[in-house]
C-alpha cells in the first residue's frame, strides 16, 4: 500500500473545508489544510457574518424612525459613524478567525498558510513544497463575477463593500440576486441614496414570483430606486464621482458602483484540469452523489462544486465526505426543503418549492397567501407590510413550499423547515395552535 503524507489534504479554509478537516482529524486521520487567506472563507470574512452585522446596523435607523410612535423622544438626531461600524466588524471577524484556528489546532490539523495547486490526484503543491495525500478535498468556494463592461475597473465587488474608506452618499448596485438586493437594502438603511439596476423585469430570479414582486415593492417604499429592464453600458470616472451610462442613454451619478452580478467557483490557477479533474462551463468541479470528481481521490464540497451554494449546505456536505472516507458511509445529503434567508429590509425566508416549480413537479397544488400590516407598525407610523405564502400538494395535502417576506423571516422559517422535512400537511398546520400575537401564527391560520 502506498505511503502518503496525509490521509486528507483540504484546499480551502472556509466553512466546508474546516468542518471536513477537523471532523476527519477527530476520527484519527492525518489532515492538512492549505489556506492563503483568513480562515473562515467567504461567509466569515466577506459574506454572511459581516453582511448581517451591517444589516443590523441599518435596522437601527428603522428603529429610530419608529420610536416616536411608541412614546420615545430622541434627544437629538441620530448620527451614523461608518468608521465605528467598520472597526467593530473587523474586531468580530478577527475573533472568528481565531475561533477557526482554534478548531483546527484542537483537532490536530496542520495548517499550511499558502496557495495550493493540484499536481495529480494524490499530490498538492503549497508553500513551495509538495505534499501527498490519500484523499484531496477541494473547498475553495466562489469569487465575485464582473461582466465585460467598459469602465468595469471603476466598480467594486461585494467583498470590498465592508471596508470602504468613505461611506458612499450615492451608491449604484448592479444586479438582481440576493447579494445585490441585500447590499441595496443595507446601504439605503445606513443613509445612502441607492439605485439598483436590474437587467430583467424582476429581482431574485430563482425565488417565488410573489415573493420577488412583494420585495421589490417594499424595497421601493424603503427608498431604493429600483430600475428594472435596465443595465449599465459603461462607467466613467468624473470629477463628481462615477458616471454610469445606462442602456437607454440615461446617466446615473455615483460615488461607488457595486457589481453584484453573481459568483463563480474559485478554481482558476489550481491545476485541476491539468490533473484530470472535470469542470463545468462555469468552472465548477463536477461531482457525483458522493462528491467525488472525475479523479476518484479528489472530492469537492461547497460553492466550488456543482450543487447548492449555501454555507450550511457546505457544512453538511463536508460531514457526508468525512463519513464516506473515514466512517461507515451511511450519511447522506438531502437537498429538498433546504431553508434559506435573504437579509434585505424586510427579510425573506423560504423553504421548499416555488409555485411554478411545485406546479411543474406535483401537478395540482393549492395556494394560500396572506398580506398584512404587522402589529408593530400599527403604532410605528411605517407602511411596511408582511407577505406569507403556503404551497400545498393537492394529492397528499403536504406543504411543499413556504415563503415569507417580513421582519425576522429567517428566524421564523427555520422552525417550519423542520416540520416540512418531517412531512407536515396543511391539516397539521391548521391543527397547530398559533402564538398570539405574532407574525408566525399566520402560517397556521391561513384558510
> What interhelical angle do 48-66 and 82-107 show, nearest 10?
140
CA distances to 5, 7, 27 from 326, rounded to whole Å, are 16, 10, 7
C-alpha grid cell, residue 28: 484519527
Residue 225: burial class (beta carbons within 10 Å; 0-12, 13-18, 19+) = middle
Nearest by Cα to 231 from 264, 188, 189, 260: 260
Q: How far is CA 407 from the centre of its chain?
A: 18
Q: Cα separation of 15 and 2, whole Å?
A: 30
Q: Cα separation of 85 and 51, whole Å?
A: 12
Backbone torsion region of residue 204, taken as left when φ is above 0, otherwise alpha when ψ lies between -120 and 50, otherwise beta: left
User: Omega of the bond prior to 413 within 30 degrees of 0, cis?
Assistant: no
Question: C-alpha angle 309/312/317, rounded to 5°?
Answer: 80
User: Omega of the bond prior to 437 within 30 degrees of 0, cis?
Assistant: yes
Residues annotated as catalytic are: 436
Q: Cα separation of 97 and 206, whole Å?
A: 32
Could you say which DSSP state residue 39 is in? T
Q: Cα separation of 437 and 372, whole Å?
A: 13
Grid cell 473587523 is found at 90
C-alpha grid cell, residue 218: 417594499
> H-helix or E-strand containing 386?
strand 386-393
For 436, residues 6+ apart whose C-beta sits below 8 A from its C-beta are none
Strand, helix or coil for residue 231 = coil
Query: DSSP of 233-293, one letter per residue?
Result: EEEEEETTEEEEEETTS-EEEESEEEE---EEES-TTS-TTTTT--B-TTSPBP--TT-B-
Contact, 69 vs 380, CB < 8 A? yes
C-alpha grid cell, residue 379: 403604532
Amino acid at each position: 500500500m502506498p505511503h502518503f503524507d496525509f490521509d486528507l489534504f483540504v484546499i480551502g479554509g472556509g466553512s466546508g473545508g474546516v468542518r471536513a478537516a477537523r471532523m476527519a482529524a477527530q476520527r484519527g486521520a492525518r489532515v492538512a489544510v492549505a489556506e492563503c487567506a483568513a480562515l473562515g472563507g467567504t461567509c466569515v470574512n466577506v459574506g454572511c457574518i459581516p453582511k448581517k452585522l451591517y444589516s443590523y446596523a441599518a435596522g437601527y435607523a428603522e428603529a429610530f424612525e419608529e420610536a416616536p410612535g411608541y412614546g420615545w423622544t430622541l434627544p437629538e438626531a441620530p448620527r451614523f459613524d461608518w468608521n465605528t461600524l467598520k472597526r467593530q466588524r473587523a474586531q468580530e471577524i478577527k475573533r472568528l478567525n481565531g475561533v477557526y484556528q482554534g478548531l483546527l489546532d484542537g483537532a490536530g490539523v496542520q495548517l499550511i498558510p499558502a496557495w495550493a495547486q493540484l499536481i495529480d490526484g494524490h499530490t498538492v503543491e503549497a508553500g513551495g513544497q509538495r505534499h501527498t495525500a490519500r484523499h484531496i478535498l477541494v473547498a475553495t468556494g466562489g469569487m465575485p463575477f464582473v461582466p465585460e463592461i467598459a469602465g468595469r475597473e471603476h466598480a467594486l465587488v461585494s467583498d470590498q463593500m465592508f471596508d470602504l474608506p468613505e461611506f458612499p452618499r450615492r451608491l449604484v448596485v448592479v444586479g438582481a440576486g440576493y447579494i445585490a438586493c441585500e447590499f441595496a437594502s443595507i446601504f439605503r438603511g445606513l443613509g445612502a441614496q441607492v439605485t439598483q439596476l436590474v437587467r430583467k423585469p424582476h429581482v431574485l430570479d430563482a425565488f417565488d414570483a410573489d415573493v420577488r414582486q412583494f420585495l421589490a415593492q417594499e424595497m421601493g417604499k424603503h427608498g431604493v430606486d429600483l430600475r428594472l429592464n435596465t443595465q449599465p453600458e459603461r462607467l466613467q470616472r468624473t470629477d463628481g464621482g462615477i458616471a454610469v451610462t445606462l442602456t437607454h442613454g440615461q446617466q446615473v451619478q455615483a460615488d461607488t458602483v457595486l457589481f453584484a452580478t453573481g459568483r463563480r467557483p474559485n478554481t482558476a490557477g489550481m491545476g485541476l484540469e491539468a490533473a484530470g479533474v472535470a469542470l463545468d462551463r462555469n468552472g465548477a468541479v463536477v461531482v457525483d452523489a458522493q462528491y467525488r470528481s472525475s479523479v476518484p481521490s479528489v472530492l469537492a464540497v461547497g460553492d466550488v462544486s456543482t450543487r447548492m451554494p449555501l454555507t450550511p449546505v457546505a457544512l453538511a456536505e463536508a460531514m457526508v465526505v468525512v463519513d464516506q472516507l473515514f466512517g461507515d458511509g451511511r450519511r447522506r445529503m438531502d437537498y429538498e426543503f433546504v431553508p434559506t434567508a435573504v437579509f434585505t429590509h424586510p427579510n425573506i425566508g423560504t423553504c421548499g418549492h416555488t409555485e411554478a416549480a411545485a406546479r411543474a413537479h406535483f401537478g395540482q397544488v393549492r395556494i394560500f397567501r396572506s398580506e398584512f400590516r404587522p402589529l408593530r407598525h400599527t403604532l410605528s407610523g411605517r407602511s411596511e407590510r408582511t407577505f406569507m405564502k403556503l404551497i400545498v400538494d393537492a394529492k397528499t395535502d403536504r406543504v411543499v413550499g413556504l415563503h415569507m417576506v417580513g421582519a425576522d423571516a429567517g428566524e421564523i422559517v427555520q422552525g417550519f423547515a423542520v416540520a416540512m422535512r418531517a412531512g407536515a400537511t396543511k391539516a397539521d398546520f391548521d391543527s397547530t395552535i398559533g402564538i398570539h400575537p405574532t407574525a408566525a401564527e399566520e402560517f397556521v391560520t391561513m384558510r
